[in-house]
Structures are given as structure tokens and as C-alpha cells.
Amino acid sequence: MDIRRHDLLAAVPFAMFPPLILFHHFVASLPWTAWLLGLAWTVISASFIGWRAWRLIRATNIKNARDYDRRAKFDLPLEYAASESLLAHQRRQRRTNR
């Protein structure tokens, strides 16, 4: 099983809490500011990772749609060769609505 870089990035937002919990239970009680900082870090990190994942998914979808329009649809039966990807359809529809 190989661990990819983006698999490790998914754990970053939650990396702040285990040390805080261990310190809280075994060493001393933590002030509420430490918990707020941990929560703020988690929200900011999770937001960034969600935004980045959305951008990567969108880029992959665009790449796959272009590949379908250029190459893959011609490997299908003849009735599908005239079809187009959703991305191409949306782009054509935007052009005609202007």
C-alpha cells in the first residue's frame, strides 16, 4: 500500500488535536485559548484542503472531458461519435446565450 502525498495532507487539519488531548489528560489542564487555536487551525486547514481538492477534481474533470471529445468517443459505437461531453455542451450553451 503506497501512501500518496495528498493522503497525508488530509490528516493535517486534525494533527493539532491529539497532542492537545494527550497534554490535557496527562500533564495539565489546557486553557480555553489553546482549544480555540486548535479549532481555528482545523477550520483553516480543512477549508484549504477542501478548496484544493475541489480545484484538483475540477481540473481532472476538464482533462477527462477534453480527452473524451478528442479521442474516446470515437472508440464507442458509431451512434455515440456525434456526442459531446458535458463540458463541451456547457461551453457551447454559454456561447449561444451571450
Cell of 93: 450553451
Domains of the chain by residue range:
14-97
Q: What burial class does residue 74 get, using C-beta atoms within 10 Å of its C-beta: 0-12 exposed, 13-18 middle, 19+ buried?
A: exposed
Length of the chain: 98
CA angle (16, 10, 54) in 5-degree steps: 130
Separation of alpha carbons 74 and 83, rounded Å: 10
pTM of the entire predicted model = 0.59
Query: What are 33-83's pLDDT values in tens digits?
Result: 877 887 888 788 888 888 988 999 999 988 988 898 888 888 888 888 788
Separation of alpha carbons 95 and 92, rounded Å: 5
